[in-house]
Amino acid sequence: MKGVEVGTGQIYSREGCQKLCQSWGDSCAFTVRLDRYNGNLDQCRLKSLPVTGGNSGTRGINGYESAVDQTCWARANSGNYYCIDNWDVNGDHHDGTCNVLSGMSEDQCRAACDQVAACKFYVYSVDGLCALKTNPFRGRCGSTSYNTNIRRACFQVY
């Protein structure tokens, strides 16, 4: 995932990488752990400004990258989710279609995501449309881009 790199470490587990990021406080929002089999020796990249990046220090892409083993949130910023305002994020919908749920409040959309095992994130629009999604940045529904018709995209944090 795109973001500004604030630090690195050599960590052997997802949990260790996440804890290192958490120890950096609010300056680190998420981690990208590189695949050891691509010669990266379990490198853990600590990042801020997820999805949007910044003016300098931005690395990564909002899509599949073969060298990445895992991307993990360090903490939630809204309940048990990390939310980004005004961004659509592509993914597969939980039911295999690209249909959305309509007439929902954001709280109802979030509750629906919490109840569906396959839902890893949701996209909620300003007109009350709710998309329950999985496979962020890799699915066929939506387009990862800035979009003022999207109130927010919210990812579950474990």
Question: Rounded to whole angstroms, how far apart are CA atoms 129 and 123?
Answer: 8
H/E run at residue 154: strand 150-156
Tally of CA atoms within 13 A in the half-sphere of 16 that contains its CB: 10
Q: What is the pLDDT of residue 36?
A: 67
pLDDT at residue 41 above 70? no
Q: What is the pLDDT of residue 67?
A: 78
Question: Rounded to whole angstroms, how far apart are CA atoms 117 and 84?
Answer: 22
The tens digit of pLDDT for each residue in 2-27 reads: 999 999 888 778 888 889 999 998 89
**CATH value of 81-156 in 1.10.8, 3.50.4, 2.40.50, 3.90.1750:** 3.50.4
Query: How high does pLDDT run on average in the chain?
Result: 90
pLDDT at residue 37 above 70? no
The tens digit of pLDDT for each residue in 65-109 reads: 877 878 889 999 999 999 999 999 999 999 989 999 999 999 999
DSSP 22: H
What is the end-to-end Cα distance of the chain in Å, rounded? Answer: 17
Question: Rounded to whole angstroms, how far apart are CA atoms 124 and 49?
Answer: 20
Question: Rounded to whole angstroms, how far apart are CA atoms 82 and 70?
Answer: 16
Least-confidence region, from 26-40, 81-95, 107-121, 140-154: 26-40
More confident residue, 130 or 51: 130
Helix-strand-coil split of the chain, %, nearest 5: 15, 35, 45
Task: List the chain domain ranges.
Answer: 3-73, 81-156
Question: Rounded to whole angstroms, how far apart are CA atoms 126 and 41?
Answer: 43
- Name the pLDDT band for 38 (thresholds 50, 70, 90): low
Average of per-residue pLDDT across 131-139:
93
